């Protein structure tokens, strides 16, 4: 006859006695939100509380001394490359528009196709070079200001944008320099506002 009380397990009780104590019981409230699919609330072999297996946030293994966010020097390569690609795409679209306008009096023939391709290639290369140069100047100013101030914040972003606009328009006279600086400050200010939009709403953004 089995003398064990209903609902008990003789093997589990033996293991509990072997390891110095039985398995603790947890209520449904305590185990709420704990993924227990395919496992019992407590292993009979290892006294592991499944609540300790729940990971609330993502964790990354970073080299010693490395920040959790990417610095401006790391982002510079992505910024320059992305600007060249975007500039090339916009240039091709603008070249197609210009090409149709300049060849509207020509018949649809091989010379017209060749002319369209030449214009698109020229516009694509020009736009890509221009945006790539702007991104290069912005990245250089950003890294230099970050190293000089020893801090990384939105002040660096806005200062870099203003200086980039001023340098880009440096051959257009004082008024051109002022307009370029204002345009750069405005664009970088809008980017800083967009980048901190979640923070302004009370949500911490992830910048990694």
Instruction: Give the residue from 55, 118, 116, 128 showing the smallest Cα distance to 91.
Output: 128
Model pLDDT, residue 132? 92
Per-residue confidence band for 16, with pLDDT thresholds at 50, 70 and 90: very low
Per-residue confidence band for 14, with pLDDT thresholds at 50, 70 and 90: very low
CA 195, 198, 200, 202 torsion: positive or negative?
Answer: negative
Instruction: Give the residue from 140, 199, 203 showing the smallest Cα distance to 167.
Output: 140
Q: How do residues 106-139 score in pLDDT, each as one tens digit?
A: 888 888 889 999 999 999 999 999 999 999 999 9
Say yes or no to pLDDT of 29 above 90: no
User: What is the C-alpha to C-alpha distance for residues 188 and 180, in angstroms, rounded to an integer?
Assistant: 12
Instruction: Give the residue from 59, 39, 58, 60 showing the smallest Cα distance to 50.
Output: 39
**How is the chain split into domains, by residue range?**
10-56, 72-200
Alpha-carbon torsion angle 145, 193, 175, 165, nearest 10:
40
- Judging by beta carbons within 10 Å of its beta carbon (0-12, 13-18, 19+), is residue 37 exposed, middle or buried? exposed
Ranges of beta strands (E only) in the chain are none
Say yes or no to pLDDT of 60 above 80: no
Q: CB of 69 within 8 A of CB of 204?
A: no
Model pLDDT, residue 191? 86
Model pLDDT, residue 54? 61
Provide long-range contacts, Cβ within 8 A and 24+ apart, for 75-79: 75/139, 76/139, 76/140, 76/142, 76/143, 79/135, 79/138, 79/139
Give the chain's mean pLDDT.
75
Q: What percent of the chain has pLDDT over 70?
A: 61
Q: How do residues 139-189 score in pLDDT, each as one tens digit?
A: 999 889 988 888 878 888 899 999 999 999 988 889 999 999 999 999 998
Say yes or no to pLDDT of 82 above 80: yes
Per-residue confidence band for 193, with pLDDT thresholds at 50, 70 and 90: confident
Model pLDDT, residue 119? 92
**What's the rounded mean pLDDT across residues 12-33?**
49
Residues contacting 163, CB < 8 A, separation 6+: 137, 141, 181, 184
Per-residue confidence band for 200, with pLDDT thresholds at 50, 70 and 90: low
């Amino acid at each position: 006859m089995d003398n064990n009380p209903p609902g008990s397990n003789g093997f589990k009780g033996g293991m509990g006695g072997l390891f110095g104590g039985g398995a603790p019981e947890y209520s449904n409230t305590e185990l709420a939100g704990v993924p227990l699919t395919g496992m019992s609330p407590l292993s009979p072999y290892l006294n592991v509380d499944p609540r300790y297996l729940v990971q609330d946030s993502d964790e990354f293994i970073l080299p010693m001394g490395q920040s959790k966010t990417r610095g401006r020097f790391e982002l510079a390569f992505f910024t320059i490359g992305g600007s060249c690609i975007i500039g090339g795409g916009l240039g091709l679209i603008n070249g197609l528009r210009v090409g149709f306008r300049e060849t509207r009096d020509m018949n649809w023939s091989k010379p017209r196709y060749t002319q369209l391709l030449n214009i698109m290639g020229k516009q694509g290369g020009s736009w890509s070079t221009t945006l790539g140069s702007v991104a290069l100047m912005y990245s250089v100013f950003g890294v230099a200001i970050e190293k000089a101030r020893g801090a990384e914040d939105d002040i660096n972003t806005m200062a870099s944008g203003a200086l980039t606009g001023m340098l880009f328009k440096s051959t257009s006279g004082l008024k051109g320099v002022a307009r370029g600086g204002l345009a750069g400050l405005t664009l970088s200010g809008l980017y800083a506002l967009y980048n901190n939009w979640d923070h302004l709403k009370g949500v911490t953004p992830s910048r990694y």
